[in-house]
């Protein structure tokens, strides 16, 4: 009975999120694309409180015809307890620009994660609050445009009633800070997928994502599938 209720909750969460994003007022021209992501995440636990994380992501775009985005991240995590975590992170990004050349970007971000159980159902809600700054020259912070600061809030619902399988869905809006952009949010992400845990160290995940980004004159809609491998030791 709990599985049926949880499945319906995840389905409603996903449908409502897609409807909210797609039905948002939009009078700009739309550009649609299909992409695929391949992610690797490695966590080294120093002790019960501290951990170091490394991640690598390959992101193919233009209907899978080019590697549009490549990044590597390194972070330091502090666990207050099993439900609250703070992390400091750096990400090196290589991204295709409008001239089909790779542009190097540097992203600095702080994450705060909080996890809680939803009622009596085997569902967990994880809320991640991220403040990030992105620049193309580390020692020239004002070189890029005014939209380099974002506040991102990610809401993830996970079903925990199965032994090895963890179905999930998440929604993430991007709030530009210190910007003249008239929109409250300039990007939305919504995804659903599942993680399969082989044991406490190894797991894989597969997901499908819808992403909408608002440019100055156009709206970019991306439909993405992805695979990820997670290793913790």
Span 54-81, average pLDDT: 96
Question: Which of the listed CATH numbers 3.40.50.360, 3.30.70.660, 2.120.10.80, 2.40.160.40 matches domain 2-24+43-215+224-232?
Answer: 2.40.160.40
Other beta carbons within 10 angstroms of residue 230's beta carbon come to 18
Span 158-173, average pLDDT: 94
Span 171-180, average pLDDT: 88
Span 66-90, average pLDDT: 96
pTM summary value: 0.84
Closest CA to 57 of 94, 106, 90: 94
Span 158-179, average pLDDT: 92
pLDDT in tens, 19-51: 655 555 555 668 899 999 999 999 999 999 999
**What does the pLDDT read at residue 144?**
47
pLDDT in tens, 201-227: 999 999 999 999 987 778 999 999 999
Span 47-69, average pLDDT: 96
Average pLDDT over the chain, rounded to whole? 87
- 146: pLDDT confidence band, cut at 50, 70 and 90? very low
Q: Is it the case that residue 124 has pLDDT exceeding 70?
A: yes
The domain segmentation of the chain, as residue ranges, is 2-24+43-215+224-232
Write the burial class of residue 174 (CB in 10 Å: 0-12 exposed, 13-18 middle, 19+ buried): buried
**What does the pLDDT read at residue 4?**
64
**What does the pLDDT read at residue 24?**
55
Q: Is it the case that residue 148 has pLDDT exceeding 90?
A: no
């Amino acid at each position: 009975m709990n599985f049926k209720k949880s499945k319906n909750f995840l389905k409603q969460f996903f449908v409502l999120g897609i409807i909210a994003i797609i039905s948002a007022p939009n009078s700009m021209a739309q550009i649609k694309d299909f992409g695929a992501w391949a992610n690797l995440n490695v966590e080294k636990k120093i002790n019960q409180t501290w951990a170091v994380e490394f991640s690598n992501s390959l992101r193919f775009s233009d209907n899978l015809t080019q590697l549009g985005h490549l990044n590597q991240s390194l972070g330091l995590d502090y666990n207050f307890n099993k439900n609250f975590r703070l992390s400091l992170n750096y990400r090196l990004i290589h991204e295709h620009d409008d001239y089909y050349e790779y542009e190097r970007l540097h992203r600095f971000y702080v994450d705060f994660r909080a996890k809680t159980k939803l009622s009596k159902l085997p569902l967990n809600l994880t809320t991640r609050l991220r403040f990030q700054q992105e620049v193309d020259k580390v020692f020239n912070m004002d070189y890029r445009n005014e939209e380099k600061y974002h506040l991102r809030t990610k809401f993830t619902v996970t079903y925990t009633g199965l032994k090895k399988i963890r179905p999930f869905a998440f929604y993430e809006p991007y709030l530009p800070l210190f910007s003249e952009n008239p929109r409250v949010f300039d990007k939305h992400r919504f995804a659903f997928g599942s993680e399969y845990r082989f044991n406490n160290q190894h797991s894989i995940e597969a997901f499908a994502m819808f992403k909408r980004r608002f440019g100055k004159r156009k709206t970019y809609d991306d439909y993405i599938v992805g695979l990820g491998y997670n290793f913790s030791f």
